[in-house]
Amino acid sequence: MDRPVAQDGLLAAAMAVVVSVFLVGEPDAGAPDFAAVLAGTAALAAQRRVPLVSLLVSTVCMLAVAAHVQPGPAVAYPVMVSVFAAVWAGRALAAALAAVAFLGAGLAVNLPGADDTGQNLESMSLLVGWFVAAGVAAIVTRHRQAYLEEAERRAAEAERTREEAARRRAGEERLRIARELHDSLTHSISIIKVQAGVAVHLANSRGEKVPSALVAIQEASGDAMRELRATLEVLRDSDGTGGFGESDGAAPGSGLDRLGELVERARSAGLTATVTISGTRPELPDEVDRAAYRIVQEALTNVSRHAGGAAAAVRVDYTDGELVVQVDDDGTADPDAPPVPGTGLLGMRERVAALDGRLRAGPRPEGGFTVRAELPLRAGARP
């Protein structure tokens, strides 16, 4: 049961008890009078849903009791409650007519033949004041509720405005970063790619052996241009997140389907690397596919930079509900002196955390370093 309905039911029951107590002391009260009291007070239970019906029933029933028994002001209480509910519901005219009808009928019944006309007039004046107070209280309550609703609406609108402003600022910042990356890195990488291509072409035209490092530079610069364009598209995408949890509209090409090319570039740069894949590859969510590729890429970069000629072993395991990527090297990392995490390791942890996965990165007991990421195979990464 709804709370307002229960409250109205309790109010109706309380009114029935109060009016019945006054009615018990009247010698002329009979069963029809008690029935009218019960009907008039029971109507209060519906005052929120059908205020006009409640007002009509309570007014008619209480008038019938007042005309027959005249139990005093208590018989007016249910009518006052109905008047309050009607005014609160915006039915002020109907409430005023009911109050005038009830007071006028009471005055017509009580004044003729009354022993104490002054006392009756005083009682009627008091009732008039109570009815006016009930109407005023209903108007104040109605306006207060309207004020609270308007305040809540404005607060919600302000919150939406703040969120829209934050999204707009984030979009503007992404565009600014995209412009900076485009104006700075794109030009530099393009020059590197062109110069490397020219050097390879000249070596081939002279019949000379092209140095493997030069080929690696040419391939790496081309791959860097491709990934930079993909990053710029993500940043310029108004629906993108601009972070590790890229939107589904991000440019493709940074997934495990390019793992062979990634390892081959590492080899051409002088790194000894092997790849082992176990299990059947399922349909990978885009964010999981990209995260796995980036983790392997960063791990191989760290081996080339910090492991001093060590060999790397890349392992990819497809299991039920999980993708495991692991990169081990046989370098000189000491288990007793773990390295201070740099930007690369922090980036790995952020990627894995965004996917509710697990990451272990540290020296191996037998020597060397290992990076192991366990990524759940489901879409819907946390932002």
CATH number of domain containing 306: 3.30.565.10
Q: Is residue 209 part of a domain?
A: no
> How far apart, in Å, are the Cα atoms of 26 and each of 19, 35, 61, 73, 378?
11, 15, 17, 13, 78
List residues bridging with 274 in a β-sheet. Answer: 313
In a domain, 266, yes or no: no
Q: Do 140 and 279 belong together in one domain?
A: no
Q: Which two tokens stand for residue 377?
A: 């195979």
- How far is Cα 10 from Cα 42, in angstroms, rounded to an integer? 10
Q: In sequence order, what are the beta bridge partners of 358?
A: 374
Q: How far apart are CA 21 and CA 10, in angstroms?
A: 17
Write down which residue in 155, 175, 209 finishes a domain.
155
- 42, part of any domain: yes
Identify the pLDDT of residue 249.
39
Kindly state whether residue 173 falls inside one of the protein's structural domains. no
* Spatial distance between the Cα atoms of 341 and 307, rounded to a whole number of angstroms: 15
Whole-angstrom Cα distance, residue 158 to residue 181? 34
Please report where in the chains the tokens 């081959």 appear, as a residue: 264
Is residue 161 assigned to a domain? no
* Domain that includes residue 347, residue range: 272-376
Domain membership of residue 130 (yes or no) is yes
Asked which of 113, 129, 155 is the last residue of a domain, the reply is 155
Domain count, the chain: 2
Which pLDDT belongs to residue 73? 77
Output the CA torsion sign for 86, 124, 122, 67.
Answer: negative
Do 145 and 284 sit in the same domain of this protein? no
In a domain, 73, yes or no: yes
Backbone angles phi, psi at 283, to 5 degrees: -75, 110
C-alpha 315, offset from chain centre? 38
pLDDT value at residue 142:
87
Which residues are bridge partners to 273 per DSSP?
Answer: 312
C-alpha distances out from residue 71 to 100, 117, 130, 235, Å: 19, 17, 17, 80
333, part of any domain: yes
Q: Which residue's structure tokens are 């692991």?
A: 326
Q: Which pLDDT tens digits describe the chain residue by residue (383 residues)? A: 567 778 888 888 888 888 888 787 777 777 888 888 888 888 888 888 888 888 899 888 888 888 777 767 778 888 888 888 889 888 889 888 888 888 887 777 665 544 555 556 677 778 888 888 888 888 898 888 888 989 999 998 998 888 888 888 888 888 888 877 777 777 678 778 788 888 888 888 888 888 877 877 877 888 788 777 777 777 776 544 433 333 333 444 578 888 988 888 888 777 889 999 998 888 888 889 989 998 998 888 888 877 667 889 999 999 888 999 999 998 877 777 766 767 788 888 988 998 999 999 888 888 889 999 999 987 444 43
Question: Positive or negative CA dihedral for 75, 80, 81, 83?
Answer: positive
Last residue of a domain, one of 126, 155, 184: 155
Alpha helices in 182-285, H assignment, sequence order: 187-205, 212-236, 259-268
